[in-house]
């Protein structure tokens, strides 16, 4: 594991984290967070020191195997002296006590991390916001398991991972969660608000929706397609990769929805009761396969997250009896052709990694691949991608090789044009064979 070229000041390549145990006490009214983080991992290169990412909060004590150990802190790093030289392969465990008033980090991609709502809190970390609320090795490829114990004020609900227990003592409630699926720091989350909760059967996957009571009718109307979306995506991509899926709708407006591991988060402005932004609900659900299960080991490959989730929107449109993916592709190709042709999809650079052209050109690449190899091979590629790399990380090179192997044909020129050149290639002609059943519309009632 090495530092990421797009986020060179984040992470430490000398170690990998295997588990985070986070105990957090948060007071909503005063925005005060007091935490204890137990970080267990393994040394990758011989070293006497390591550095955890921590921004805006102050560490007060660090414990190692022999008790208290020394540390220094800068505005973004907690530098820890291990007390002896650790060899490659050695396990370690650190316990960090820390606290302060959490606030989002200001970055070139906007403000990221823990943020106060009007009445609650939200965590939106992609790509480097996680250090705003816990000490971590903030690299996209360093996946770990988690345990969260979140204590907060009465009257609030908390979402973080799979629920384990809830208990109240001294008028404050502690919510305990676990996440066993390998998860990068940017997908770890805590959501706190005055929410009501209801369960949903998502085509056999347990679902839960947390939302302000006043938005109940709008939420019920806009999330009604979720069970059908889950059915479509499990058929197209393979089994849902986590034990459950949760949706959190905040009372506040949010700039964009966001994905976390096992959770989709939407602002009140994204849920209008008319399904106006249904594509975004499909997009965040699809991230559970693409980005959250099959992760990127480096931000350079972000199209593997966003292009796939964007193309899932088009698959949902097609399967629910609306515009076909091909019609969507034609429209977006025309729009993209009118944009500046200065983006390289395989390496867009940090300033453009969240540019909408990465999303749309990534989706267009997938549609062009579908047209090139046919539906049967295309959906076998997607399912094999998830089966082979689920729970791990993968690269653009991995996808190129897998696609060629599954399709049984050379695709170097195809991928070279779509991934490595700036000019937008033309869409291939549709193959003559009949589409496979996976492209046929479900018997789903479409809203206008």
pTM of the model: 0.94
Domain hosting 345: range is: 295-439
Which pLDDT score, from 0 to 100, does residue 444 have? 32
Per-position DSSP letters for 206-240, written without gaps between them: EEEEEE-GGGHHHHHHHTTTHHHHHHHHHHHH-S-
As a whole number, mean pLDDT of residues 276-286 equals 97
Split at pLDDT 50, 70, 90, the class of 28 is very high
**266 neighbors 247 (Cβ within 8 angstroms):** yes
User: pLDDT > 90: what percent of the chain?
Assistant: 94
Which pLDDT score, from 0 to 100, does residue 431 have? 53
Structural domain contains residue 409: yes
Which pLDDT score, from 0 to 100, does residue 3 have? 82
Q: Do both 305 and 263 map to the same domain?
A: no
User: Which of 245, 269, 286 is where one domain is finished?
Assistant: 286
The structure tokens listed for 3 are 């530092």
pLDDT tens for each residue of 153-181 = 999 999 999 999 999 999 999 999 999 99
Structural domain contains residue 374: yes
Mean pLDDT estimate for the chain:
95
In angstroms, rounded to a whole number, what is the distance separating the alpha carbons of residues 65 and 49?
Answer: 14
Torsion region of 273: left, alpha or beta (phi above 0 gives left; psi -120 to 50 gives alpha): left
Split at pLDDT 50, 70, 90, the class of 1 is low
Q: Do both 162 and 226 map to the same domain?
A: no
Split at pLDDT 50, 70, 90, the class of 435 is very low
- Residue 446 clears pLDDT 50, i.e. is over it: no
Structural domain contains residue 115: no
Structural domain contains residue 49: yes
User: Which of 255, 286, 317 is where one domain is finished?
Assistant: 286
Q: Do both 213 and 271 map to the same domain?
A: yes
Q: What is the Cα gyration radius of the chain?
A: 22
How does 385-402 read in b/e, with b if 16+ C-beta sit within 10 Å? bbeebbeebbbbebbbeb
Cα 416 from chain centroid? 27
As a whole number, mean pLDDT of residues 59-77 equals 95
- Residue 436 clears pLDDT 70, i.e. is over it: no
As a whole number, mean pLDDT of residues 75-96 equals 96
Nearest-10 Cα torsion for 292, 293, 299, 300? -130
CATH of the domain at 36: 2.60.40.1730
User: Which of 168, 188, 216 is where one domain is finished?
Assistant: 168
- Residue 67 three-state SS: strand
Structural domain contains residue 125: no
Q: Do both 278 and 342 map to the same domain?
A: no
Structural domain contains residue 122: no
CATH of the domain at 278: 3.30.2010.30
As a whole number, mean pLDDT of residues 64-90 equals 95
Taking residue 103's Cβ as centre, other Cβ atoms within 10 Å add up to 17
**283 neighbors 265 (Cβ within 8 angstroms):** no
Q: Do both 321 and 274 map to the same domain?
A: no
pLDDT tens for each residue of 306-344 = 999 999 999 999 999 999 999 999 999 999 999 999 999
The conformation of residue 382, written as its DSSP 8-state character, comes to: H
């Amino acid at each position: 594991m090495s530092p990421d070229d797009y986020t060179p000041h984040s992470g430490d390549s000398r170690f990998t984290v295997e588990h985070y145990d986070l105990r957090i006490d948060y007071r909503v009214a005063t925005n005060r967070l007091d935490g204890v983080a137990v970080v267990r991992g393994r040394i990758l290169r011989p070293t006497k020191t390591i550095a955890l990412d921590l921004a805006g909060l102050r560490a007060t004590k660090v414990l190692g195997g022999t008790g208290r150990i020394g540390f220094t802190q800068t505005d973004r790093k907690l530098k820890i002296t291990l007390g002896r030289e650790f060899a490659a392969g050695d396990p370690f465990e650190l316990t960090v006590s820390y606290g302060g008033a959490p606030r989002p980090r200001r970055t070139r991609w906007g403000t990221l991390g823990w943020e106060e709502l009007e009445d609650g809190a939200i965590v939106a970390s992609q790509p480097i916001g996680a250090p705003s609320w816990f000490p971590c090795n903030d690299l996209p490829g360093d996946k770990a398991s988690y345990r969260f114990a979140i204590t907060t004020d009465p009257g609030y609900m908390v979402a973080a991972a799979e629920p384990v227990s809830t208990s109240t003592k001294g008028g404050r409630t502690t919510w305990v969660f676990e996440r066993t699926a390998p998860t990068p720091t940017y997908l770890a989350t805590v959501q706190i608000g005055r929410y009501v909760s209801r369960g949903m059967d998502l085509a056999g996957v347990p679902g839960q929706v947390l939302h302000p009571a006043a938005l109940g009718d709008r939420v019920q109307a806009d999330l009604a397609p979720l069970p059908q979306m889950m059915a479509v995506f499990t058929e197209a991509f393979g089994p849902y990769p986590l034990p459950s899926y949760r949706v959190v709708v905040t009372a506040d407006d949010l700039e964009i929805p966001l994905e976390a591991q096992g959770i989709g988060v939407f602002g009140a402005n994204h849920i209008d009761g008319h399904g106006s932004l249904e594509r975004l609900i499909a997009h965040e659900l699809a991230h559970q396969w693409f980005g959250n299960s099959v992760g990127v080991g480096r931000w350079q490959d972000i199209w593997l997250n966003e292009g796939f989730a964007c193309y899932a929107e088009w698959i949902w449109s097609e399967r629910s009896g609306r515009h076909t993916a091909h019609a969507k592709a034609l429209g977006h190709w025309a729009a993209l052709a009118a944009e500046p042709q200065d983006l390289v999809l395989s390496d867009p650079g940090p300033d453009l990694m969240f540019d909408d052209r990465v999303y749309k050109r990534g989706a267009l690449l997938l549609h062009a691949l579908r047209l090139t190899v046919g539906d049967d091979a295309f959906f076998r590629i997607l399912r094999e991608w998830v089966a082979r790399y689920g729970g791990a990380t993968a690269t653009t090179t991995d996808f190129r090789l897998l696609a060629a192997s599954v399709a049984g044909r050379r695709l170097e020129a195809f991928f070279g044009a779509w991934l490595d050149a700036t000019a937008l290639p033309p869409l291939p002609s549709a193959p003559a064979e009949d589409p496979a059943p996976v492209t046929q519309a479900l018997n789903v009632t479409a809203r206008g």
